[in-house]
Amino acid sequence: MMRKCTTTRKTLCIEELEDRCCPSTYAVLDLGTLGGSYSSAADVNESGQVVGLTATAAGLQRGFLWENGAMIDVGTLGGQLYAVVALENEP
């Protein structure tokens, strides 16, 4: 393992990690939006369901559940903004 340090006002040390040449077992997938300009995933469970927040065409922020290739608006609890941040694994 090689260690490089640069000394200025603060010391920055960088350590080289071992080479990890393992094939990946995952894929990146564009989940889309609810018509807006962004979406952000917060959690994914073992069943492949994803939750997070996205923008609508009207510019509102909404929480979503993505499953079976479709993004579902989960609505709000009466407010303007809403996001879903966690999922449980199905039994």
- In whole angstroms, give the CA distance from residue 90 to residue 63: 20
Higher pLDDT, 63 or 23: 63
Running DSSP on this structure, what letter comes out for residue 79?
S
Residue-level pLDDT at 29: 85
Residue-level pLDDT at 22: 63
Residue-level pLDDT at 88: 81
Residue-level pLDDT at 86: 77
Summarize pLDDT for 4-58 with one digit per residue, the tens: 544 555 555 666 666 666 666 777 888 999 999 999 888 888 888 999 999 999 9
- In whole angstroms, give the CA distance from residue 68 to residue 29: 12
Please give the span between the terminal C-alpha atoms of the chain, in angstroms, as a whole number.
Answer: 43
pTM (2 d.p.): 0.66
Q: Where are the strands (E) in the chain, listed by range? A: 3-7, 11-15, 35-44, 50-56, 61-67, 70-73
Running DSSP on this structure, what letter comes out for residue 7?
E
